[in-house]
Amino acid sequence: MTATPTAGCPDQWDADLPLTDGGVAHLRPSSPADADAIRAKHGRLSAKTLYLRYFSTVSTVSHQQAEIHRGSHGCSTAR
């Protein structure tokens, strides 16, 4: 699987990590294009898992929770 680079992020923030089963996991910063996938993932989590993630009862993931704060970690292309 080839991952799409995250625009505006330094290349050193992308990493291919070897897995114990011989596979490779590609890690990269999230982007605004990932918001729908983040919401979908949270929709598949149990109530307990969501509670442990957010330390409160969560029934749906808000736009704010799924929003990517790109400027806070230096990947903003508009400065």
| pLDDT (tens digit per residue) in 46-67 | 989 988 988 888 777 777 766 6
- Stretch 19-32: mean pLDDT, rounded? 90
Does a structural domain hold residue 40?
yes
- Taking phi over 0 as left and psi of -120 to 50 as alpha, with beta for the rest, 64 belongs to alpha
Does a structural domain hold residue 36?
yes
36 lies in which domain range?
30-71
Confidence at residue 28, expressed as pLDDT on a 0 to 100 scale: 85
Does a structural domain hold residue 1?
no
Confidence at residue 1, expressed as pLDDT on a 0 to 100 scale: 45
Nearest-5° Cα angle at 63, 61 to 66: 70
H-state helical runs in 23-67: 35-43, 47-54, 63-66
Does a structural domain hold residue 67?
yes
CA distances in angstroms from 43 to 17, 50, 57, listed in the order given: 27, 9, 14
Q: What's the number of domains the chain is made of?
A: 1
Does a structural domain hold residue 18?
no
Distance CA 74, CA 16 (A): 21
Q: Letter for the amino acid at 6?
A: T
Percent of the chain scored above 90 by pLDDT? 18
pLDDT above 70: residue 38: yes
Does a structural domain hold residue 46?
yes
| Stated pTM of the model | 0.56
